[in-house]
Structure 1
Amino acid sequence: MGRIVISSNVTLDGVVQDPDGEEGFERGGWFHRFVTGKDLEAWVARETAEVLGAEALLLGARSSEWFASRMLGADVRVSPEWADRVRSLPKYVVSSTLEDPRWSNATILEGDVAKEVSELKRTVDGDILVYGSYRLVRVLLEQRLADELRLMIFPVVVGSGRRIFDETGDQQPLHLVDMRKVGDGLMFCAYELVGG
Structure 2
Amino acid sequence: MGTIVIATNSTLDGVVQDPDGKEGFRLGGWFDRFGGDDLPTWAALETDEALNAEALLLGRRTDAWFATRWSSRSGVWADRLNSMPKYVVSSTLEQPAWKNGTVLRGDVAEEVSALKRRVDGEILVYASYQLGRALLEHDLVDEVRLVVFPVVLGAGERLFGETSDPKPLRLVESRPLGAGLTYVTYRPVAAPEERR
Q: Contact conserved, 2:168 with 2:188, CA < 8 A, in 1?
A: yes
CA distance in 1, matches of 2:117, 2:190: 17
Where do 1:1-196 residues align within 5 Å?
Answer: 1-37=1-37, 39-73=38-72, 76=73, 80-195=75-190
Q: Contact conserved, 2:67 with 2:97, CA < 8 A, in 1?
A: yes
Q: Which range moves more in the overlay, 102-111 or 132-141?
A: 102-111
CA distance in 2, matches of 1:166, 1:152: 18
Q: CA deviation at 1:166?
A: 2.1
CA distance in 2, matches of 1:57, 1:108: 12
Q: CA deviation at 1:104?
A: 2.9
Q: CA deviation at 1:168?
A: 2.7
The letter of the residue matching 1:62 is: R
Instruction: Please state whether the residue corresponding to 2:54 is helix, strand or coil.
Output: strand
Q: CA deviation at 1:195?
A: 4.0
Q: TM-score normalized by structure 1?
A: 0.94
Instruction: Please state whether the residue corresponding to 1:54 is helix, strand or coil.
Output: coil
Task: Flag structure 1 segments of 5+ consecutive residues without an equivalent.
Answer: none
Q: TM-score normalized by structure 2?
A: 0.94
Aligned length: 191
Q: In the alignment, what sits opposite 2:194?
A: none
Instruction: Please state whether the residue corresponding to 1:87 is helix, strand or coil.
Output: helix
CA distance in 2, matches of 1:100, 1:5: 24
Q: CA deviation at 1:70?
A: 1.0
Q: CA deviation at 1:36?
A: 2.1
Q: Contact conserved, 2:66 with 2:98, CA < 8 A, in 1?
A: no
Identical positions, percent: 61
Task: Flag structure 2 segments of 5+ consecutive residues without an equivalent.
Answer: 192-196
Instruction: Please state whether the residue corresponding to 2:170 is helix, strand or coil.
Output: strand
